[in-house]
C-alpha cells in the first residue's frame, strides 16, 4: 500500500512539474515582453524627439531665409528714388549724417578718456592704452573691412 501511495504521490508531483515550469516560463516571457515594450516606447520617444528637432531646424532655416529676403527687399526699397528731388536728397544723406554724428561722438568720448587720464597723472602711452582698447580695435577692423573689402567685392562683380 505504501508503494501505491508513493507511486500516486510521485506521479502527481511529476505531473505538476511541467505545469510549474510552464508557469515560470510564462512569467519570464511576460517580463521579456514588458522589457521589449519599454524599449519600443523609448525608441519611439527618441524618434519623436529627433522629428521635433528636425522640424525646429527646418523652421529656423525657413525663418532665416525669410528674414534675409525681407532684408534684401528693404535694402532695395531704400535705394529706390522717389522722383522728388528734396526727398531723395534727404533720404540719401541720412546714413552719412548718422555715420558722421556717431563718429564725432565716439571720437569725443575717446578724447575725454584720454584727457581724463592725462589730467589724472597718466603718461601719454598709458593714456593711449586706456583710451584705445581691444574693443576699439575690433570696431576699427570692422570699419576698415567694410570700406576696403566692399570695394574688392564691387570690383569682382
Contact by Cβ (8 Å): 116, 128: no
Q: How many residues does the structure list for the chain?
A: 157
pLDDT at 60 over 80: yes
CA nearest neighbour of 110 among 134, 143, 132, 135 = 132
Break the chain down into helix, strand, coil percent, rounded to 5.
90, 0, 10
Q: How far is CA 99 from the centre of its chain?
A: 31
pLDDT band at 6 (very low <50, low <70, confident <90, very high): low
CA nearest neighbour of 103 among 150, 136, 149 = 136
- Nearest-angstrom CA–CA distance, 31 and 127: 77
- Nearest-angstrom CA–CA distance, 39 and 35: 6
CA distances from 17 to 3, 23, 29 (A): 21, 10, 18
User: Tell me: the pLDDT tens digits for 66-104?
Assistant: 988 888 888 777 778 878 888 888 888 888 899 899 999
- Nearest-angstrom CA–CA distance, 83 and 76: 16
Decide which of 108 and 14 is more confident: 108
| Range of weakest confidence among 83-97, 99-113, 142-156 | 142-156
pLDDT band at 61 (very low <50, low <70, confident <90, very high): very high
Amino acid at each position: 500500500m505504501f508503494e501505491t501511495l508513493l507511486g500516486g504521490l510521485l506521479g502527481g508531483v511529476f505531473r505538476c512539474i511541467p505545469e510549474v515550469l510552464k508557469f515560470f516560463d510564462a512569467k519570464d516571457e511576460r517580463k521579456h515582453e514588458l522589457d521589449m515594450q519599454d524599449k519600443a516606447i523609448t525608441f519611439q520617444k527618441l524618434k519623436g524627439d529627433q522629428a521635433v528637432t528636425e522640424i525646429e531646424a527646418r523652421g529656423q532655416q525657413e525663418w532665416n531665409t525669410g528674414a534675409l529676403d525681407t532684408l534684401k527687399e528693404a535694402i532695395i526699397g531704400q535705394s529706390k528714388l522717389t522722383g522728388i528731388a528734396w526727398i531723395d536728397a534727404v533720404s540719401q544723406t541720412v546714413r552719412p549724417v548718422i555715420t558722421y554724428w556717431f563718429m564725432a561722438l565716439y571720437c569725443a568720448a575717446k578724447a575725454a578718456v584720454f584727457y581724463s587720464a592725462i589730467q589724472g597723472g597718466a603718461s601719454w602711452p598709458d593714456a593711449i592704452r586706456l583710451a584705445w582698447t581691444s574693443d576699439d580695435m575690433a570696431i576699427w577692423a570692422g570699419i576698415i573691412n567694410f570700406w576696403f573689402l566692399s570695394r574688392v567685392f564691387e570690383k569682382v562683380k
